[in-house]
Amino acid sequence: MAILINENTQILIQGITGKSGALQAKVMKQYGTKVVAGVTPGRGGQEVEGVPVYDLVSEAVRAHRIDAAISFVPAVFAKDSCMEIFDVGIKFLVLTTEGITDHDMVDIVAYARTKGARILGPGTAGLISPGKSKAGAHPPRMYTEGRVGVISKSGALSYEVGKNLTEAGIGQSTVLSVGGGPVWGMTQKDVVELFQADPETEIIVLLGEIGGTMEEEAAEYITNHLNKPVVTMIVGRAAPVGKSLGHAGAIIEGNKGTAAAKLELLQKAGARIASSPREIIQIIKEMRGE
């Protein structure tokens, strides 16, 4: 099993005729992802990597069953394109776009909730359910099918940890990044909840960083609801107050968002603390009795 996407998920790509959209359509299809439609206004009737292109999402859903969408639409058009996805009843959107204004993201997230839809992003590298499907930029060679679920804010960190797990013979159920914020769709807590319900995810790896309170919210859920083991690593421990770690969602403000505060709460919640990908592997092997 996996969370959010699997081998049966049929995916639409918004902005499929752009450079990123076309590249990812090719890589996703090569991996076995069921990319069934693309949308770029004014390009209807074309094909990209054998995928039919439509002018409107509503046209695509009349022709295909669409379970999820991934967007490569520029920030200035992102709000309208997201609304179009939710209006036709698509319930899961991977929003890769960076630079969307906070005001637009607040509107996008609020509208998705009224439609019962989930957003991964903005600024996300996407997700991969190894051996089944991928929606985003995760390099397939770095992952292998298994029973460890991986959540990260950072795409690059999820690549690194996935590669280390795979090289150690530890497979993954789903690996994803929630994106750069500071306004998010799905949070780490939301993803932990999905992994809790997934019978094939046995261990959860939570990769955090300085800034915001997302890890603290995940720790509260872990304390009160989780019955699966968690390994966590927080990067940016030496960052000073006010320092950003690569994006707007990683800024320390006062005593909030520090690595020490996050680690303290996660440890109290029962998570095992790692300081490096190698240590994550050591802890997982201990948990498995290897």
Is 133 domain-assigned? no
DSSP code at position 141: G
Residue 69 and residue 142 in one domain: no
**Nearest Cα to Cα of residue 149 among 169, 167, 170:** 170
Residue 160 and residue 44 in one domain: no
What pLDDT, on a 0 to 100 scale, did the predictor assign at position 213? 87
Residues in a beta bridge with 175: 128, 150
Quick one: residue 138, left, alpha or beta (phi over 0 = left, psi -120 to 50 = alpha)?
A: beta
Residue 238: what residue type? A
Sheet holding 92-95, edge to edge: 47-48, 51-54, 34-39, 10-14, 68-71, 92-95, 118-120
What pLDDT, on a 0 to 100 scale, did the predictor assign at position 211? 82
Is 199 domain-assigned? yes
Is 127 domain-assigned? no
Q: Integer distance in angstroms from the first to the last C-alpha of the chain?
A: 24
CA distance 236 to 209: 6
What is Dmax (Cα atoms) for the chain?
Answer: 57
Q: Which residues are catalytic?
A: 247
Contact 203, 261 (CB under 8 A): no
- Residue 31, domain extent: 10-120
CA distance 61 to 64: 5
Q: For residue 261, what are its two tokens? A: 């505060």
Is 63 domain-assigned? yes
Residue 79 and residue 148 in one domain: no
CA distance 208 to 188: 9
Residue 19: what residue type? K
Q: What is the CATH number of the domain that holds 209?
A: 3.40.50.261
Orientation of helix 188-197 relative to helix 214-225, angle to 10°: 30
List, for residues 44-93, the tens digit of each pLDDT value: 999 999 999 999 999 999 999 999 999 999 999 999 999 999 999 999 99
Residue 95 and residue 144 in one domain: no
Residue 70 and residue 198 in one domain: no
Question: Structurally, how many domains does the chain consist of?
Answer: 2
**Domain closes at, from 89, 120, 151:** 120
* More confident position, 241 or 134: 134
Residue 176 and residue 267 in one domain: yes
Residue 52 and residue 95 in one domain: yes
Residue 31 and residue 151 in one domain: no
Q: Which of 94-98, 168-172, 250-254, 275-279 has the lowest mean pLDDT?
A: 250-254
List, for residues 208-265, the tens digit of each pLDDT value: 988 888 999 999 999 999 999 999 999 875 555 555 555 545 454 555 668 888 999 9
Percent of the chain exceeding pLDDT 70 equals 92
What pLDDT, on a 0 to 100 scale, did the predictor assign at position 247? 54
